[in-house]
Amino acid sequence: MRKTNLFLSSMLATSMVATLSTTQVCAAPSYPLGVTVEANTNPAWDADYVATFAFQDEDAKDAVKVNVKGGFQFYKESETTSYQAFGDNSGIPCYDAYEYEDGMYAASSNVQTGDMDFYQMSEIGDDLFELTMPLPANQYFYAYYIEYSDGTTADRVIDPANIPEKNVDSDAGWSLFYVGNGETAGQEYIYPSSCAQGNVEYVPYSAIDGTTQYLGVYTPAGYDPAKTYKTIYVSHGGGGNEVEWMTIGSVPNIMDNLIGAGEVAEAIVVTMDNQYFGWDYDLTLPNVLDYVIPKIEADYSVSHEEADRAFCGLSMGSMTTNEMMKRNPGEFGYFGAFSGGNSDLDPANFDGAALNEASLYFTAGTVDIAYNNTMGISTLDYLGALDDLGVNYDFDLKLGGHDWYVWRDSLTTFVKDYLWNKEIPAATKNDNQAGAQMNDPAKQETVQTTTQAAQTTQSGIIETADGAMVGLYLAGLVLGLGGLYLTVKKAKA
């Protein structure tokens, strides 16, 4: 079921300034466990908000240091134009949250290190730690990294006060929280909608190998079996699962807001677990076509027309999208490939005429390992091959890295500006617009606290552009999984 953050009307709080390298001891905790978001009142910080992390370590061992690590790296657009994936980016500054200035954009890794920065928390009580940092509006992910007095460590500990939504053993792999109300370009639609909200459920199905797997299914508010809905099939990336797009990817909020604003026809969104098949296209693609789609068409009131289906994905899911459009171009009317390409450049394997019957949309981030590189398998070559075939496509270079900042923005643009040319019945569109109201763009003055039932979990590699993701990228290359995650800036032919 859907989960939303808890908004509290007011909270008294003391101000604490934290840095990456110093520890300040306070007399008593001042915030509840989890993350509390407030309007920024510190004139030394440019960000509109501050987020305070409060963590109580429950391990029997003595915690001596706790760091926060997450999507808290920032860049200036003017300073990233020379970015070269896996190249020399030593001249590109990466700024921490305390150095944030208006106009910067967030990314999930530091191009200098290929990893995320550590933010050291202050110990304010026995195994109780706190940290306040300024942040601009967005949805962020984070986890804790703990050092104990006996020399042992615990890495990527999910916040026990902010457990991510789970389906069986699948989740986003990080704790999540929202900041602001849509002030950041590209992230305007990711927040819980003030319009009617749809529903998310995880449904079992029998996969191509006979096992029981799960699909995430978003249905619009007021889903009516008497209506016929369009469908969007969405793939995660390497190490991901069916839950990611529904949580860290903000699919339900994006769809609620776009449908409520009359920007897209009502549609059902389906997510799947392609990681289970090891990205073997001979399993993944027929599983989608012969098992996932028939399941959805049997259980939900959706169109069976190819033109009413869209397929998109991120990173390895983007590569899957490109393989799908190469092998089965007529099965979908729309394809969206976010941060990914394809290594097969043989024109004999493409049907250019069939591809021109579909709408193709590509994206990558300005500091994205998939954007451009020197490994000889970039999507510069891939899209060049499409050019040689006379295939039309659009490409957008988004602000961000190989991360969810880019992918949420990409999905929003794909749905809003490409799908079905906004073929929305006039009565439905007008009805939605009459009740539509995006989140108030004014600064969030109330206190937002993220707390959930206590539990600590660990998960496998997920798509956030940290060191593990780079390792997965390279491993995918070695295994011959295809043209790995690369795109290029190219205008539509």
pLDDT in tens, 436-463: 333 333 333 434 554 433 333 323 333 3
Residue 72 lies in a domain: yes
Residue 492 above 90 pLDDT? no
C-alpha pair distances (Å), 132 with each of 19, 106, 117:
9, 17, 15
Q: Quick one: 228 and 119 in the same domain?
A: no
Indicate the pTM of the whole model: 0.84
Report the CATH number that the domain containing residue 122 is assigned in CATH: 2.60.40.10
Q: Quote the domain boundaries for residue 163.
A: 6-183+453-459
**Tell me, what's the pLDDT at 21?**
35
Q: Quick one: 210 and 131 in the same domain?
A: no
Q: Quick one: 160 and 208 in the same domain?
A: no
pLDDT in tens, 179-190: 999 999 999 999
**Tell me, what's the pLDDT at 345?**
81
Are 215 and 289 contacting, i.e. CB atoms less than 8 angstroms apart?
no
pLDDT in tens, 7-59: 332 332 333 333 333 344 444 568 999 999 999 999 999 999 999 999 999 99
Nearest to 101 by CA among 119, 118, 78: 78
Q: What is the mean pLDDT of residues 264-270?
A: 96
Are 193 and 260 contacting, i.e. CB atoms less than 8 angstroms apart?
yes
β-sheet with 230-235: strand ranges across: 199-206, 212-219, 267-271, 230-235, 309-314, 334-338, 359-367, 394-401
pLDDT in tens, 155-165: 999 999 999 99
Residue 487 lies in a domain: no
**Tell me, what's the pLDDT at 29?**
61
Q: Quick one: 262 and 171 in the same domain?
A: no
Residue 492 lies in a domain: no
Residue 464 lies in a domain: no
Residue 340 above 90 pLDDT? no
Q: Quick one: 117 and 64 in the same domain?
A: yes
The three-state (H, E, C) secondary structure of 140-172, written as one string: EEEEEEEEECCCCEEEEECCCCCCCCEECCEEC
Report the CATH number that the domain containing residue 287 is assigned in CATH: 3.40.50.1820
Residue 103 lies in a domain: yes
Q: Quick one: 276 and 406 in the same domain?
A: yes
Residue 104 lies in a domain: yes
Q: Quick one: 252 and 174 in the same domain?
A: no
**Tell me, what's the pLDDT at 249?**
98
pLDDT band at 376 (very low <50, low <70, confident <90, very high): low
Number of folded domains in the chain? 2
**Tell me, what's the pLDDT at 370?**
86
One-letter amino acid of 442 = A
User: Alpha-carbon distance 394 to 356, whole Å?
Assistant: 12
**Tell me, what's the pLDDT at 382?**
77
Q: Quick one: 343 and 419 in the same domain?
A: yes
How high is the mean pLDDT of the chain?
A: 83
Q: Quick one: 219 and 347 in the same domain?
A: yes
Q: Quick one: 130 and 203 in the same domain?
A: no
Q: Is the dihedral of CA 475, 173, 53, 2 positive or negative?
A: positive
